[in-house]
Amino acid sequence: MHPPQPDITGSRPITMPIYQTSGFAFDDPAVFADALSRPDGAFAYGRYANPTVRALESAVADLEGGVAGIATGSGMGAVNCALLGLLGPGDHLVAQKSLYGGTAAMINELAERFGVSVTYVSGDDPDAFRAAVRSRTRVLYLETLSNPLNHVADLPGMCAAARELGVVSVVDNTYATPMLCRPIEHGADIVVHSTTKYMSGHTDVVGGLTVHADEELWRRVWRFSVELGATADPFASWLTLRGLQTLPLRMERHCANARHLATRLAAHPAVAEVHWPGLPGHPSYELAAKLLPDFGGVLAFDLAGGRAAGERFMKAVRLALLAPSLGGVETLVMHPATTSHRTLSAEELARHGIGEGTVRIAVGIEHPEDLWADLSQALTG
């Protein structure tokens, strides 16, 4: 059966409709053929493009100051479209030392199975990057704010050096969001996002996105994303679009709550150190103040009592939930030494800057006094 489609001329929907269709019908075979060859032709097949997905891509490209975006089924989908779309066997990648775990694992795969060589440098050391570049260096990979210690990348310095040396810079801007940083304005070529986090913001979507400063690279990565099949789903894209409408409001509250908790934690006797770049004394404090209008909603702190104190704290929180991920309206806590980084030895943990008593908090948008009441009872309990 072919159900009739109502005529909606004369008015238009206020919100973006969900185009829940895998394909589109054509009147003209030439238009059909053209649609499959480029990302800006007519809509043809859902793996190539979809109007709801396109609305999300355009919205985020606009927020980031890019020419276009490619939405993917997850943040790792976006990371892989960028890396695999740009790198081939024998190529060289320069990456920042501390990276999101999934990205770090993927880079290991690239090195072990796909013949890509990798050099790690500090994200705020353009001279080290320059020294690492070789004739086959294709990509510089950075994160605006690193996990979990919040080191800030020197985007202007690093991206300018990459431009000068003909290396494509890719920046994961998941933690900062375009509310705190627009890497393309600092010279980045490609921005990647896990929209699972702040962009969608309500812990109900997995998604990702690449945003491009350059049209040729956008076409190249789009072609690869179509071949890889990393495509975003229209409903997930619609949820993300809905989340985006409140991104500025939520980010303001995430950052304000993080400041409130960071300040209180820093003064608490059970806490040895707080890692939030808005606090003087953080290694990235000065760079952060220069680059960012606010300092993000994720903070980490070291409990003076080490691993035992960390485990006790995790069991004692009530309002904050013990869970992975970040960027949602709920506050989530994690103890890296016994969860995300549990396989590492004490020395390896130290190399990542993670102590046995390090706790990560993805601060939500709850009332700050409710949050502090919960954390302080968990610290003393």
Ligand X SMILES: *Cc1c(COP(=O)(O)O)cnc(C)c1O
In the annotation, is 47 catalytic?
Answer: yes
Kindly tell me which residue out of 74, 80, 203, 231 binds ligand X, with binding defined by CB under 6 A: 74
Closest CA to 72 of 83, 216, 62: 83
For ligand X, the closer of residues 100 and 372 by Cβ is 100
Residue number with the smallest Cβ distance to ligand X: 75
* Residue number, 50 or 103, with CB nearest to ligand X: 103
Q: Inter-axis angle of helices 51-64 and 234-244, to 10 degrees?
A: 40
Q: Which residue in 61, 92, 95, 100 binds ligand X (CB under 6 A)?
A: 100
Q: Min. distance of Cβ 173 from ligand X in angstroms?
A: 8
- What span, in angstroms and rounded, lies between the C-alpha atoms of 329 and 234? 23
141 flagged as catalytic: no
* CA–centroid distance for 221 within its chain: 18
DSSP state of 73: S
Q: Tell me how far, at minimum, the Cβ of 373 lies from ligand X, in Å.
A: 28
Q: Is 174 in the site for ligand X (CB under 6 A)?
A: yes
For residue 373, give Cα distances in angstroms to 161, 265, 303, 306, 357: 46, 12, 17, 22, 20
Q: Which residues contact 233 (CB under 8 A, 6 or more apart)?
A: 53, 73
Nearer to ligand X, 61 or 171 (CB): 171
Starting at the edge strand found earlier in the chain, the sheet holding 137-143 runs 68-72, 208-212, 190-194, 168-172, 137-143, 92-96, 117-121
Q: Is 206 near ligand X (CB under 6 A)?
A: yes
Q: How far is the CB of 76 from ligand X (least distance, A)?
A: 4
Q: Which long-range contacts (CB under 8 A, 24 or more apart) does 111-117 make?
A: 114/87, 114/89, 115/89, 115/90, 116/87, 116/88, 116/89, 116/90, 116/91, 116/92, 117/91, 117/92, 117/93
Q: Would you list the DSSP string of 211-252?
A: EES-HHHHHHHHHHHHHHT-BPPHHHHHHHHHHHTTHHHHHH
Q: Smallest distance from the beta carbon of 77 to ligand X, in angstroms? A: 7
Q: Residue 142's beta-bridge partner residues?
A: 171
> Of 172, 233, 294, 374, which is the active-site residue?
172
- Residue closer to ligand X by CB (options 109, 127) is 109
Closest CA to 148 of 313, 363, 316: 363
Q: Which of 197, 250, 253, 360 is catalytic?
A: 197
Q: Which is nearer to ligand X, 342 or 367 (CB)?
A: 342
Near ligand X in 105-164, by CB under 6 A: 143, 147
Catalytic residue, from 34, 45, 47, 307: name it: 47
- Rounded to the nearest angstrom, the gap between the alpha carbon of residue 235 and the centroid of all alpha carbons in its chain is 20
Cis-peptide into 148, omega within 30 deg: yes
Output the six-digit token pair for 347: 């020395």
Q: Which one of 72-80, 182-190, 267-275, 283-291 is the stretch in contact with ligand X (CB under 6 A)?
A: 72-80
Compute φ and ψ for 322, nearest 5 degrees: -80, 105
Output the smallest distance, CB 210 to ligand X, in A: 12
Residue 90 CB, nearest approach to ligand X (Å): 26
Rounded to whole angstroms, the maximal C-alpha distance in the chain is 72
Sort strands 117-121 and 92-96 into parallel, antiparallel or unpaired.
parallel
**172 forms part of the interface with ligand X (CB under 6 A):** yes
Residue number, 124 or 172, with CB nearest to ligand X: 172
Letters for 300-339 (x = contact with ligand X by CB under 6 A, - = none) are: ----------------------------------------
Residue 72 interacts with ligand X (CB under 6 A): yes or no: no
User: 66, 69, 183, 208: which one contacts ligand X (CB under 6 A)?
Assistant: 208
CB under 6 A: which stretch of 14-22, 29-37, 82-90, 95-103 binds ligand X? 95-103
Residue 200 is a binding residue for ligand X (CB under 6 A): no
Could you give the residue numbers annotated as active site?
Answer: 47, 100, 172, 197
Q: Site residues (CB under 6 A) for ligand X? A: 74-76, 79, 100, 102-103, 143, 147, 172, 174-175, 194, 196-197, 206, 208
